[in-house]
Copies of this chain bind each other. A is one copy, B any other.
């Protein structure tokens, strides 16, 4: 019981901090502002997190983990490659792009903190696995095609993340729906080619 309540409070801290960090930036958000919003005493924070920075890290890592867990779950339930792609396009990616607070934080903070490179690596691995499942032959690590794929994934992923963030903050003339259309087109085109 006590544990459950603790976890709830921990989650509440995370949620509130996430909104604050995303809108004002990590450095422009003070711990006291956070506790004011939460209406809890300052000391409380430090029973859940050893430092302000670890709150930031937890937001990023746990947010990303949630996404990955959902992805894995939905992907294993999919019958075919087509179904898997459909899930990607209709379920997982929209969920990621909707979480602009998480995206903002990941993109704004230092690489050491967000560990974007690790996240991209795992994404590349995922795509490569899908390729293999699709029956395409594996690429040797020296193959220039591998580099091309890797490059494309990085550019598309980062471009989409950043675009999703900007969409909600600024009048760019496009919407999140347009981003999803872009992905759908992209996947269809790529599949037709291969």
Contacts and interface: CB of A to CB of B under 8 A. Distances in A.
B159 A174 contact: no
A152 interface: yes
A116 B166 contact: yes
Given A25-B110, A147-B174, A155-B179, 7 more contacts: A25-B27, A111-B169, A116-B166, A148-B181, A148-B185, A151-B178, A152-B182
A185 to B, nearest CB: 8
Interface string A178-194: 11011001000000000
Interface of A: 2, 25-28, 43, 107-108, 110-111, 116-117, 120-121, 147-148, 150-152, 154-163, 166, 169-174, 178-179, 181-182, 185
The 7 closest A-B pairs by CB, nearest first: A159-B159, A27-B27, A155-B159, A158-B162, A117-B170, A151-B178, A158-B159
